[in-house]
Structure 1
Amino acid sequence: MRLIIVSNRLPVTIDDVPGSGHKRSIGGLATGIDSYIKRIKLAQTDFDEYLWFGWPGASIKKEKREAITEECIARYSYHPVYLSKKLIEGFYQDYCNKVLWPLFHCFPDRITYDTNSWKYYQEANEIFYLELKDKIKDGDVIWIHDYQLMLLPQMIRKDFPNAVVTFFMHIPFPPINLFNHLPKMEQEGLLNGLLGADVIGFHTQDYTQDFKRCVSKVLQIDCSQQTIRKAQRKIKVDVFPMGIDYQEIKKTAKSEACTLIKAQVRKDLPACKIILSVDRLDYTKGILNRLIAFNKFLELHPELTGKVVLMLIVAPSRGQIESYKQMKRNIDEWVGRINGTYGTHTWCPVIYQYRQYSFLELCALYGISDVALITPFCDGMNLIAKEYIASNETDRGVLILSEMAGAIHELSEALAVNPFCPDELVSALTTALAMPAEEINRRNKKMHLRLRSYDVLKWADTIFTTTSKTVENRYGNKKKVLNAMIRKAKIDQYRWADSEPVLAVL
């Protein structure tokens, strides 16, 4: 059985020189799916092969595309989907970044609407479909990811009515009062597009319910049951909070290379408590509010002069957009203001890095930091919060986490804060830096257990098991066909059942 993965971007950036090096992405989507692919290669899943479709991250000249595609398939089982510069601008920059991203993150005032961008969005999804169309075989499971490709499930369903399609949304889904900001035609197009899938997954129950309310109000479809019925099909909409590769993170955190980086950082900051902030540049992340809160914290605690630092890591993102350029200027100004006001000739309260960090470097910073300050205004999940806990032993590291992040539902022992309220951040910092080791251990043990038991591999397995069960009952047939994808789950259920077992033909 083959798994076809479809995402807006491939996990590598490819230039137009065949045979050249390819830069890997360290984003949550790419890293998480890579962990599952390793399982496929080790024959530890029901899939015996995979193919990953996505934009290569750059414009490739037409005469070079064939050679690059052959190389990518041979080296990685990646299939590039080529988009013109004009289409990238209209589809990705205009519609995805300026309409869907702010709308889905509850920032309607940041929407910049261009009537042509919807056409580009449709065209880009169509190009993805045309690349897929000739590659789809009977028995394939098609796994589509995120808000850039919401029309794709329906396009597949139209020509392949029996295709097995699952869709996962990595960002929040907006409530109906915000979704209504879109023109009616676009609302219907996006929702019908998603309903082409057999399973639609979200990180949290809130996002799931918001999606169902939108389907109910906009499409007038009953969403009161566990499944949605459309054109005699049953569609499962459910919660699948994305996990992390817990074991790989623990392995990396304990590696010699990671230990050396930790030792160097600690040598540079021998007497300081370290507060870590890691984000890519985006208005949804609450970076400025974090700096305002840290400024107030230093004002209220002069006794901590020279004893605490904020390590602010900001990964470059969407630097071509003017509003993001202004955001970076504002961050630069606040860092300068804090360091100028409170710094001494031997101490700099904010250590600011505007660059991409490798996974190894991040694991080292997670492990050396006393506090993680993760306070987005709105975030689908936030895997950094999970990685921070996993990188530390249970008796160290305090997590301060926004109550607006999807991860808060699983990391309930973190210090939850309202990211819009600087006073709450100041209070949480004060509590975190003074928290006894016993209390840290009590909180972190529970979070470690959760992250270890429901990791990224369990996340993917749960999605595919749900997909298999949904496809079996797609048309409401009473006859049940048990396939390899859920056989193990059924055997385990039988093996550990407390009640009298019910036998099934395997």
Structure 2
Amino acid sequence: MASAHGAHRILVASNRGPVSYSLDETGELTPRRGGGGLVSGLSAIGPDAGALWVCSALGDGDREAVRRGVGEDGVRMLDIDADVHADAYNGIANSVLWFVHHLLYQTPLEPVFDAEFRRQWASYETYNRAFAEALADEAAEGAAVLVQDYHLTLVPGMLRELRPDLRIGHFSHTPWAPVDYFRMLPDDIAEQVLRGMLGADRLGFLTRRWADAFTACADALVGGLGGTRVGVHGLGADADFLRARAHQADVGERMAALREQIGRGPDGERRRTVVRVDRTELSKNIVRGLLSFRQLLDDEPAWRERVVHVAFAYPSRQDLAVYRDYTAEVQRLADEINSRYGTPGWTPVVLHVKDDFARSLAAYRLADVALVNPVRDGMNLVAKEVPVVSDEGCVLVLSREAGAYEELGEDALTVNPYDVIGTARALHEALTMPAGERAERTKRLAAAATALPPAQWFLDQLHALEAPTAG
């Protein structure tokens, strides 16, 4: 740690930063800006706030940018050893902590916390320590530090030891596991995670359910929260951005292309659409969604040739074998449904696997029904975005295990994500809902979905951290 304190009054720490770099064959670096709630929040506080975003170099382009001293004002990118990062990010964050919080383990076979796990855990500690030391170097006296997500659970405790003067917050973008499932972790590791988090002055969660689960874990395993406060901030959709972006020319072009793929029914009528947009993460439950659509075609044959399932399943974490296998199963099942039910003029499942935000917005606008059926999800912004931009009004079929259920459940059709027959029935109810009821529900969903837009979500956390008595 530097002997003198840094100059920054507000600091954000996250694995992924607001900018990434690609390196071409000629050695030229090209920056690409990201978006999201943190970007909106930092821009909302203005350029004179003394803010800094500390993030990790994620690829060769990022690492080369750090080595060359290329960067953007307000961003410090850490060139953590690539092997250490891979162990911490894929080995622990995405293959252990993500699985625990989303209840994803097939417990007869996994997890296995062996010597390899301990080796990777040591890398996770090293990775977190690199963030803590960078934040300690850069933060001004009494600065506010907002640490993000399950990648950095140890940072608050490490940073507290280095800089007890700082006001430290941590926000979890995932669910939090219930006590019995969290205790699957080795006892010392579970305690280390909790004590790392409890180094913060304040912890933020997306819903009261996840906040209560953390509190229960702390009570059971480490004797309570101590002086740490817990708050809830339900991240909402950015209505102004979405509506403006959804009406740009490229979205219109993709709407025309999708309409062509969807086609018209046997009598020339407009086919109805069941839309889903997800990354192929195991928690998103895409396979059971496809099974539910297949069940709908079995149970309600009148929908054959009259409805299309527009399914966007964008590849995620393809460097992990279990995700590659899951993506392949999504493709296989879509092909099977199309082979079994399709006709020369009707493709029941229109599946796209190449990430395309403009096409996602086009699908949002065309959706009659949005299917959001995760087995478990911190929030799920798709559930909030579709009602905001839907042209004709859209029925939301929503898993009760999505964080968004807490705010949207009253005006959605709720499903048990494991119940394929129940989900098929909900899809039928959604497709047959009268236009007036659908419009009213969409209006209420959009209002709830935009109650806490990203910039305000960020600022609320910052203000709560700065106010010692805030909840």
Q: Which is worse superposed, 56-65 or 157-166?
A: 56-65
1:267 to partner: Cα distance: 4.0
Change (3 A) 1:61 1:454: closer
TM-score by length of 2: 0.90
Equivalence for 1:184: 187
Change (3 A) 1:341 1:116: same
Of 242, 247, 251, 1:249 maps to 242
Equivalence for 1:259: 252
**Root-mean-square deviation (CA), in Å?**
2.2
Asked whether the equivalents of residues 98 and 111 of structure 1 are also in contact (C-alpha less than 8 Å), the reply is no
Distance, in Å, in 1 between the alignment partners of 2:460 and 2:19 is 26
Superposed CA deviations along residues 246-293 of structure 1, whole A, max 9, x for unmatched, are 211122223344334323322443422111111111211111111111
Equivalence for 1:319: 318
Distance, in Å, in 1 between the alignment partners of 2:63 and 2:289 is 45
Equivalence for 2:299: 300
1:98 to partner: Cα distance: 1.5
Change (3 A) 1:473 1:392: closer
Asked whether the equivalents of residues 207 and 234 of structure 2 are also in contact (C-alpha less than 8 Å), the reply is yes
Superposed CA deviations along residues 456-501 of structure 1, whole A, max 9, x for unmatched, are 222222212211222x689xxxxxxxxxxxxxxxxxxxxxxxxxxx
Equivalence for 1:401: 398
Equivalence for 1:149: 152
Secondary structure (helix, strand or coil) at the match of 1:442 reads helix
Of 87, 93, 96, 1:96 maps to 93
Asked whether the equivalents of residues 56 and 80 of structure 2 are also in contact (C-alpha less than 8 Å), the reply is yes
Equivalence for 1:31: 36
Change (3 A) 1:60 1:411: same
Equivalence for 2:79: 82
Change (3 A) 1:89 1:152: same
Aligned pairs for 1:91-490 (under 5 A) are: 91-108=88-105, 109=107, 110-113=110-113, 114-221=117-224, 228-229=225-226, 234-271=227-264, 272-358=271-357, 360-393=358-391, 396-412=393-409, 413-470=411-468
Equivalence for 1:500: none
Secondary structure (helix, strand or coil) at the match of 2:70 reads helix
Aligned pairs for 1:9-88 (under 5 A) are: 9-15=16-22, 20-25=29-34, 30-41=35-46, 48-59=49-60, 65-67=66-68, 70-74=69-73, 77-88=74-85
Alignment gaps of 5+ in structure 2: 1-7, 265-270
1:14 to partner: Cα distance: 2.2
1:56 to partner: Cα distance: 2.6
Aligned letter for 1:292?
L
Change (3 A) 1:96 1:112: farther
1:3 to partner: Cα distance: 2.2
Superposed CA deviations along residues 314-344 of structure 1, whole A, max 9, x for unmatched, are 1111212222222122222211110110001
Distance, in Å, in 2 between the alignment partners of 1:355 and 1:396 is 26
Distance, in Å, in 1 between the alignment partners of 2:126 and 2:146 is 20
Secondary structure (helix, strand or coil) at the match of 1:88 reads helix
Aligned letter for 1:291?
L
Equivalence for 1:2: 9
Distance, in Å, in 2 between the alignment partners of 1:206 and 1:137 is 34
Distance, in Å, in 1 between the alignment partners of 2:420 and 2:62 is 49
1:308 to partner: Cα distance: 1.0
Change (3 A) 1:397 1:160: same
Change (3 A) 1:392 1:52: same
Aligned residues: 449
Aligned letter for 1:50?
A
Higher relative contact order (CA 8 A, sep 6+): 2
Asked whether the equivalents of residues 157 and 199 of structure 2 are also in contact (C-alpha less than 8 Å), the reply is yes
Asked whether the equivalents of residues 204 and 230 of structure 2 are also in contact (C-alpha less than 8 Å), the reply is yes
1:160 to partner: Cα distance: 1.2
TM-score by length of 1: 0.84
